[in-house]
Chain A
């Protein structure tokens, strides 16, 4: 029982990270039907910004988190402006290939500047490194913070999308960009805003992972990025609560597979879930079947 609860804590921490990254995928897909493969690399850049803030500027954890979110916001908007906007009216495959190109560009530019070796985050203050035990289950403060930050950011996002004017514009653009433009909504600005929010969340996830695992490297975004994509598809790509559910399901599945002794299969199982969901319910768990009108 203790072991089960311990594994549950492990899976919630992992799931929160996937969920945070998956939100960015899902929002961008929801609004311009583009799978932004550079998203995992924005997460990596966030981890490095956090590292630089803590190591060189000696900022605290929350200041670094905010700095990483700001830098990633700028990066996200820049990527959209430079790489995707000129292709707005091209085929979807062109935009997809560009996304892969941007991803590789960020990875190897980063590697050029910081080297390929993993780096460790500096020593953290006690409120981050400590842990407490609840009936034999050890809960680390970092795990509480990761889950907490993830939940707070998701609530904030839900609020933005549902209650603000910008959120309304986002929903309108995702429904029908041309009609939205006719209603006086600036489509370009709305898309930029979507990239900004998604990238900020990815940057936050990067810093959380840096603090949690204490190891970052320029290629760290690839596998979590792909898994977060699976999480987004699982929950129904384009649907915000779906990304949340998907993140926790993928984190849980991965932990479950390792915890019964098949740690080598954990990545395989995640991608098997992707294949399965695409066969059984391609729109994802919360997706509705929309019939194409002829």
Chain B
């Protein structure tokens, strides 16, 4: 009985909040999120704290807890404290879905945060839509996470740029800043991320009048790249675009430099790991540029304040995932503070209407596809250390 009344109430709230245009897509059995009573607002954390991509989840949650602690220390949101309910999805999509159900139906959180990876985040979006709870990911970068080209996932948001944007920006950077007119692509053919970046790079680079001389491929786990690099060496080109993860990218850059290939290497946020430096060695990492969410040498005061505060709170240099997690926490609190009432639908509406949000990873507006419109950083390495960072886009 109780459940049915809540369902009815929720449905009414949904219609009122979202308006007549979306009423036709009203969620079957949705509760529209639970209204908050009392002095605390419950927010859910559903991240990869163990398993294959635990480093992403742990770093994100460190950022989130720091943001929420700051907000609570400053008096909370509209006089109410935020209370985190945190679960470990073990880097598993099925586990993430189960936990999402638990968070949204039993714990009755107002907002969900995470998971970190695109695959796991996509798995929980249907649960969020069904229960009318807005969810935010800081690092799900696959293109089709919030918008598949025709429909928007109503309750899903992200605060990071998407994959193809990285490829596009890097192509622009290569043509405009490095004056490149020909490029070689080396991509990881077993990885959608890598292929997506390579496609976007190709399209934009050709738009800028450049040519792709040749395109080589490898699969994750390979260690010997001497053969494809020897092939490339015989050709003439200005830059090499390598949209892969650090474990192979480090080896490719090292082997290329050993063979005497001196052309600049360009990559994506998959380069962002200390392991890259270990694998390639400092002397190989010159003339290497990659797109990223955040750089510790960015002189923006928001960034420097965050770095200082993070070092004090956690005793370590923050990574991009720390920064993204921190922004997720701040973004959620900001949306709750602007919501007309404390329901999932009102917060969802506030999130969709975000304008000029100032985060560590950039200032952005939310577009109609629930993606942030933000700049991207192109980081340059000198002897393996971040030497330059430039905002593009």
Contact = CB atoms under 8 A, between A and B. Distances in A.
Say if A and B assemble together.
yes
Contacts of B278: 119-120
Interface of A (DSSP majority class): helix
B217 A264 contact: yes
B218 interface: yes
B234 interface: yes
Contacts of A223: 221
A259 B226 CA distance: 10
Nearest to A256: B227
A259 B228 CA distance: 6
Given A118-B275, A120-B275, A263-B228, A131 B258 contact: yes
A7 interface: yes
B75 interface: no
A281 interface: no
B219 A255 contact: no
Contact of B254 (A7, A214, A258, A264): A214
B363 interface: no
B206 interface: no
Contact of A3 (B224, B231, B279): B231
Interface string A93-122: 000000000000000000000001111100
A3 B230 CA distance: 7
B344 interface: no
A239 interface: no
A264 B219 contact: yes
A215 B228 contact: no
Interface residues of A, number: 32
A14 interface: yes
Interface string A260-281: 0101100100000000000000
Interface in B349-367: none
Nearest to A260: B231
Range, interface on chain B: 20 to 34
B281 interface: yes
B279 A138 contact: no
Contacts of A259: 227, 230-231
A127 interface: no
Given A120-B278, A215-B250, A138 B260 contact: yes
Contacts of B223: 209, 213, 215, 220
A10 to B, nearest CB: 4
A118 B224 contact: no
A163 B301 CA distance: 75
A138 B279 CA distance: 21
A178 interface: no
Interface string A233-273: 00000000000000000000011001101011001000000
A215 B217 contact: no
A140 interface: yes
B48 to A, nearest CB: 14
B119 to A, nearest CB: 18
Interface in B136-184: none
A2 B259 CA distance: 13
Contacts of B247: 117-118, 215
A123 interface: yes
B279 A118 contact: yes
Contacts of A158: none
B216 interface: yes
A164 interface: no
A14 to B, nearest CB: 6
A186 interface: no
Interface in B183-235: 189, 216-219, 221, 223-224, 226-228, 230-231, 233-234
Contacts of A209: 223
A7 B279 CA distance: 23
Contact of B258 (A3, A140, A264): A140
13 contacts: A10-B230, A117-B247, A209-B223, A213-B251, A214-B281, A215-B223, A215-B279, A220-B223, A258-B227, A263-B216, A263-B227, A264-B189, A264-B219
Interface of B: 52, 189, 216-219, 221, 223-224, 226-228, 230-231, 233-234, 247, 250-251, 254, 258-260, 275, 278-279, 281
List the 9 closest pairs (A to B, CB-CB), nearest first: A258-B227, A120-B278, A10-B226, A213-B223, A6-B230, A120-B279, A3-B234, A118-B247, A255-B227
Given A10-B224, A138-B259, A214-B251, 8 more contacts: A2-B234, A7-B230, A10-B226, A140-B258, A209-B223, A220-B223, A258-B227, A267-B219
